[in-house]
Amino acid sequence: MPAQTLTGKVVVVGGGAKNLGGLISTTLGADGAMIAVHYNSGASAGAAEETAAAVKRSGGDAFAIQGDLTKVPEVVRLFDETVRRFGTVHVAINTIGKVLKKPIVETAEEEYDEMFAVNSKAAYFFIREAARRIPDHSNGKIITVLTSLLAAFTGLYSVYAGSKAPVEHFTRAAAKELGPRGISVNNVAPGPMDTPFFYPAEDADSIAYHQSASMNGKLTDIRDIVPIIKFLVTDGWWITGQTIFANGGYTTR
């Protein structure tokens, strides 16, 4: 099959304002994609606008859009607005997530519900809305960012990893259903990433442990994850229904 490019492709990036999502947005935008830069809260509005501006400076096109993706109408609005602005959707990448590190005996019902709303429910309906918008046989791609803790035998992350785990089945089911339409669906599961998302839940000892578990004694760098995602949304189209663990050997499965 001829090499696939991102020129003129419309990409929705959930959590696309900063950190991993921001780098995905600017990288794909620099390759000519049109990016819907989603962000969750007003605190990220400035970062989202700057990311959209960076995409435009590099030759792509972009707009920033706020939405609480735990609310299904907001997921629908994100995709509706993308189609209104750019005409269609070709690629959808969901990076949003929330972490909680806590013993099971201390976990409140409200914390459980919030974790599953962010990490599971939002992911499900993001996939659903992407599947509804991506045209048949347009080489569509859907990717969810999960966590390498899915392959870990550990405590304290029960509702974090537990609320990410259902997305593996969502992805397999979607890949099977959407395959005849030429749409691939995958997950990427990084190790603990060196971003502000990681540190609030950890202390010095646990950070050192997470670092020691990788092959080079470091946390995962977002610059090592973006090329994998870029591959999956271009020449890696034949990969579908998979969870790719990209973590320097932090966990394997």
Token look-up 């972009």 returns 62
Angle at 117 between CA 181 and CA 172, to 5 degrees: 30
For 230-242, b where at least 16 C-beta lie within 10 A, e where not — what string?
A: bebbbebbeebbb
CATH class, 10-245 region: alpha beta
Digit-coded pLDDT (tens) for 198-230: 777 788 877 787 888 788 888 889 999 999 999
Sheet with 91-94: strands ordered across: 61-66, 34-39, 10-14, 91-94, 141-145, 184-190, 243-246
Would you place residue 1 in the very low, low, confident or very high pLDDT band (cuts 50, 70, 90)?
low
- Residue 2 clears pLDDT 70, i.e. is over it: no
Are 33 and 88 in contact by the 8 Å Cβ rule? The answer is: no
- Tell me the two tokens of residue 206: 């646990």
Helix/strand/coil for 25: helix
Over range 83-106, report the average pLDDT: 97
Percent pLDDT > 70 in the chain is 98
Digit-coded pLDDT (tens) for 24-52: 999 999 999 999 999 999 899 999 999 99
Token look-up 């591959």 returns 231
Please list, in sequence order, all residues whose beta carbon lies within 8 angstroms of the beta carbon of residue 223, skipping any fewer than 6 positions away.
23
Token look-up 């550990």 returns 154
Domain ranges of the chain: 10-245
Predicted pLDDT of residue 197: 66
Separation CA 207–CA 215 (nearest Å): 15
